[in-house]
Amino acid sequence: MWLLSRYCDEEGRDKVQVLRHVPDEGADLEQAFRDHARQLAAVHPTAFTLRCEGRVRELRPAVYEELLAIGREAIQNAFVHAKATHIDVELAYGSKAFELTVRDDGLGIEPEYRNGRPRHWGIAGIRERTAQVGATCELTSAEDEGTVWRFHLAAAIAYLPEPRQPVVTTEEAQDSESV
């Protein structure tokens, strides 16, 4: 009994550690999602595409961590449960908002499970993390037509502030030219 308890404790800690992934310095969502998909595709062969739209901007660290966990869970669900032939992820860096979309052509999520299942934390965790960062979450799914997760977050919340460019007066510009 003691051995089983210890095993369960260790397994639980390992699972929490995976959820609390600490990003590497300079890490970006695109590469993190590609790496995650590559690992999953080794076990669940499925076509995967990822594209970025807009000018990539640096996300706030807390937003990055939550979006990473949300996206990884949605991607993993598509690979493991959807029986999809294709999974498409889109990162849209807009001037007014950031959007993450995860789309698959798999089985779809049954209506009674779209808010999660008892003792399963994937969908519930996605929804909780989305609310935690102030994003909205839209889930559309139809039997044998796949699932689309769309996460929308206002730019002011999503992105780090852009560095301000120093304002150079005409007089300063002339002084620098004469040097």
pLDDT band at 168 (very low <50, low <70, confident <90, very high): low
Give, in degrees to the nearest 5, the angle at Cα 116 between 111 and 122.
130
d(CA 154, CA 156): 6
Model pLDDT for residues 94-114, shown as the tens digit of each residue: 999 999 999 999 988 776 655
Q: Given a cut of 70, is residue 121 above it in pLDDT?
A: no
Whether 55 is in a domain gets the answer yes
Of residues 45 and 1, more confidently modeled: 45
Residue 74 domain-assigned (yes or no): yes
Q: Which distant-in-sequence residues (6+ apart) come within 8 Å of 85 by Cβ?
A: 46, 47, 105, 106
Average pLDDT over residues 167-177: 63
Query: Count of domains in the chain?
Result: 1
Q: Is residue 4 part of a domain?
A: no
Place of tokens 């139809």: 142
- Using 50, 70 and 90 to split pLDDT, how confident is the model at 14? very low
Instruction: Answer yes or no: is pLDDT of 18 > 50.
Output: no
The pair of structure tokens assigned to 49 is 């595409």
Domain that holds residue 79: 25-160
Report how far Cα 136 is from the mean position of its chain's Cα atoms: 13
Q: Considering the domain boundaries, does residue 47 fall inside one?
A: yes
Q: What is the CATH number of the domain that holds 117?
A: 3.30.565.10
Residue 50 included in any domain: yes
**Distance from the Cα of residue 8 to its chain's centroid:** 28
Give yes or no for a contact between 136 and 130, defined as CB atoms under 8 angstroms apart.
yes
Q: Between residues 69 and 121, which one has the greater pLDDT?
A: 69
On whether residue 71 sits in a domain, the answer given is yes
Q: Residue 142: its pLDDT value, please? A: 84
Rounded percentage of the chain residues whose pLDDT exceeds 90: 56
| Mean pLDDT over the full length of the chain | 82
Does the residue 64 lie in any domain? yes
Domain contains 148: yes
Summarize the confidence of residues 18-41 as an average pLDDT: 76
* Mean predicted confidence (pLDDT) in 74-102: 95
- 172 — pLDDT class (breaks 50, 70, 90): low
pLDDT in tens, 123-156: 888 889 999 999 999 989 888 889 999 999 999 9
Q: Phi then psi for 139, rounded to 5 degrees?
A: -120, 125
